Chain A
Amino acid sequence: MHLPFRSKRALRTVAVAAMVGMTALGLAACSSGSNQASSGSATKGTINWWGWTPTNSQEAKDFIAEFNKKYPDIKVNFKLIDITSYDATIRAALASSGGPDLFDLQPGARVQQFGPYAEDMAPVAKAALGSDWKSKIAPIAISGMTLKGKLTALPVGSTYAGMLWINSQLFDKYNLKPPTTLDEWKKDCQVFKQNGVGCFVQGAAQEGFDQDTLQSISNSVEPGLWTKASQGKAKWNDPTIVKTLSIWKDLFDSGIMQSGALGAQQYPDANNQFLTGKYAMIMMGTWYTQYATEKAMTEAISAAGVAGAKTFPILPVAFPDVAGKGHTSEMYGDADYGLAVASKSKNRAAAETFAKWIATTKQGQQVIANRLDTLPTLKGIKPDFTQIKFVDPSLQSTPVNDLLKKVGSVNEPREALLSADVQNAILAAAQSVAGGSASPRQAANTLEQAAEAAANQ
């Protein structure tokens, strides 16, 4: 088929126009749009909130429903993004003009990477809580969300780790006590295995949870050294870290860690194995408190693919003194997540209203507290246990309350000080030692080199 053109010039004109048009379209699509549009109304409008948590969408809907009781004219759309693809999704969204108005941030790598694209929330916190706002929020939550003096997000909740969760039914059934030393841990595992029950389950394929176990071991060897290394005040090949990796290796060799742990992910693999009663212990933090309740545990067991879920009481216990030096591991924690308002949002005022309500008001924080998923950051807010139903209140009420009291004094950070490069290097060290391809000393040296290289970038 032939299309006649009046002249070469006409053809060229059409071609050039088409090229320019397509390029303009492409550039328009790629352009970032206006950087600082109007901030919009603070009491009405539609805002889009993107996050990897709350992982239970119903939880987010409950938050929004409570919020709408006070602000009925602000519609909040929550978009749940799987944590494994969150960074890729949010990176592209923040670079464009079509991203979220509100997004989740977490201390550490995410605050470092995406914090520059968020509004400073310090003025919002000051407006809501007064000039002494810092004294009204858990300090660990503020420090984790602060980047170069800017409060990148209002901390919604905080999480703490450094303990084990046990299936108390299994311990009772085999007449065992929670381990307090490495030897006791090994003996408990032998008994469980003799009875065909899994002992301790961990998804060692993921860095975050390996870090928790390693930080706890390190605190057992020498409290505080891990944090010093995270701050750059100690080397990652310090003898304490070498000893930590040796004990980590022992967990695998002695059969405490389940077979195939290096190929397992904490979510869903390890989590499902524990919640379906196949294993007696798991390394989880305060976010696991929610599964002490009948409702959340039933939902979680059903989500793990078990019909007719039978709940069982879970209890938090201190991480064993695996180094045998008398140091029971201190807990450590960060802001679980905070809500950041995107600098490019055209609805910043409404987005700030929602973030302010959920993070700084008693009403918003009480809703957070009662879910027992993440702990409220606003001081003085506690879960309302008259509304919370434990699986076995007589067994769980005291340990859970003790745990919630204990975290109030925690000041050791969990991931806030670690860059993505260092976290990746910690995972490589943990896996190479556990897999036997490197000795603890070799792995520690490699980790130190990677940390130095990351610091120099």
Chain B
Amino acid sequence: MIRFSHVYKSYPNGALALKDVSFRVGKGEFVFLTGHSGAGKSTIMKLLFAELRPSGGEVRVSGYDVTELKVEEIPRLRRRLGIVFQDFRLLEDRTAAENIAFALEVTGARHDTIAARVMRVLTQVGLSAKSQAYPRELSGGEQQRVAIARALVNDPAILVADEPTGNLDERATRGVFQLLRDINAGGTVIVMATHDLDLVRQTPYRTIELREGAVVFDSAVDEADAVGTS
């Protein structure tokens, strides 16, 4: 589903954000990207949804070659992804349901199907009772659930979540994380950047750790190696 091959990314000011990063993510996987601030997590996220292009190497996401992707093709790639951010990025002047419907309207979904699809994802994230609430009327955890519902409404193959629990208290964090696990159980690939190591340690999922733009640990590779050498 995702393949990074010897990816380099440098910024116009000369800073090297990624150095020779390679990994693959297969169907149904849940992957944590960890590392300190500035380690390159967000750069990888942005490469996944073509907000950035690699300076070298190859990035393939859901069949699209991000390196060669034409500008007109970027929306098509993004419609196959769900994207979730730390700051939720909801439209303040629209209700929860309208925020989700917006993501469908943008993709030209049939008008008569929108309400039902919105209700389905709101139920999935446990917020069907708050469909008419505005973001300011919702708690942080609830706002993030709306954002996740918006990411899910187009039935994405991959959900990209950049520090989705970064702004949440512990209880909300657990709730949102459980939601992501449920979504993954349904077959959706999840790539989640986080620096919440407690969360990472509690779960059996694959972890890719970055330091200064390079992969220093990949549990899928390193544990397989460990098994191989023992």
Pair from one complex: no
